[in-house]
Amino acid sequence: MKEILGESIYFGFFITIGAYYIGLQLKRKLKLGIFNPLLIAIFLVMGVLVLTGIDYEAYQQGGRFVSDLLTPATVCLAIPLYKQLHLLRKHGLAVFVGISSGVLTSAVCIFVFCKLFRLGHEHYVTLLPKSITTAIGMGVSEEAGGIVTLTVISIIVTGIVGNICAEMLCRLAGIIHPVAKGLAIGTSAHAVGTAKALELGEIEGAMSSLSIAVAGLLTVVVVPLASGLL
């Protein structure tokens, strides 16, 4: 059985889609933020691989088909932005300042974190792209000399935590304007956070989509400048 599943190039694809579907159904029924479909899918896939004894390389033969859809899916987020283009024209300066402050805040927090825990330069540049989408973050980390695998993990964890906590944190911080909500979520929690922003409303989703692209571009500029600080 192990050999048959391990040799199938579609095994990774179907187990990934199936695990996410289960997570999605749990979230819909239980309606609790902690039951994030992506988080549940990660643990389910890990459990299946452990129980079947199939190694990651065999799983990735099919799993990569899902990964290949990441960039096109991110580009598709431009659709809600296009529908709300008038808001971008109206709040252009506030949008740019908000996203820029978010990117700089993230870089400062990572610097302080690495100082507190005495992490070296390699780990510092590994964590710097944690708040941008994986498609951009992997390249930024590799170029800066970081550990790409750990960068991907930090991006995923950041997105899941953002997705789970975004609504609560906005409420605690008194952020009620839909544009401000979208910018905050997209800048700090990239595409996974944007999924939550889209649940909150079309305006939140559009602004969060914009934040992914702009925050990614700004991070590409900021990381080489900030990497020399540690």
Residue 1 has pLDDT above 70, yes or no: no
Q: Which two tokens stand for residue 23?
A: 């997570």
Given 3-state DSSP classes, what are the helix, strand and coil percentages for the chain, each rounded to the nearest 5?
85, 0, 15
Cβ neighbours for 39, distance < 8 A, ≥ 6 positions apart? 23, 160, 164
Q: Which two tokens stand for residue 36?
A: 């994030």
Residue 3 has pLDDT above 60, yes or no: no
Report residue 54: phi and psi, to 5°: -80, 130
Output the pLDDT for position 123: 92
Rg for the chain (alpha carbons), in Å?
18
Q: Which amino acid, one-letter code, is at 64?
A: R
* 145 φ/ψ sector (left φ>0, alpha ψ -120 to 50, else beta): left
Instruction: Give residue-wise pLDDT tens across range 97-130.
Output: 888 998 999 999 999 999 999 989 999 999 999 9
Instruction: Give residue-wise pLDDT tens across range 166-218.
Output: 888 888 988 888 988 989 998 988 888 888 888 888 888 888 888 888 888 88
Output the pLDDT for position 201: 87
Output the pLDDT for position 217: 84
pLDDT band at 6 (very low <50, low <70, confident <90, very high): very low
Count Cβ atoms below 10 Å from residue 20 Cβ, excluding itself: 18
pLDDT band at 137 (very low <50, low <70, confident <90, very high): confident
Output the pLDDT for position 127: 92
Instruction: Give residue-wise pLDDT tens across range 138-159.
Output: 888 888 899 988 998 899 899 8
Instruction: Give residue-wise pLDDT tens across range 31-85.
Output: 777 788 888 888 898 898 888 888 878 888 877 777 777 777 767 767 776 777 7
Using the Cα atoms of residue 213, residue 128, residue 112 and residue 107 in order, give the sign of their dihedral: negative
Angle of the 178-200 helix axis to the 92-116 helix axis, nearest 10: 80
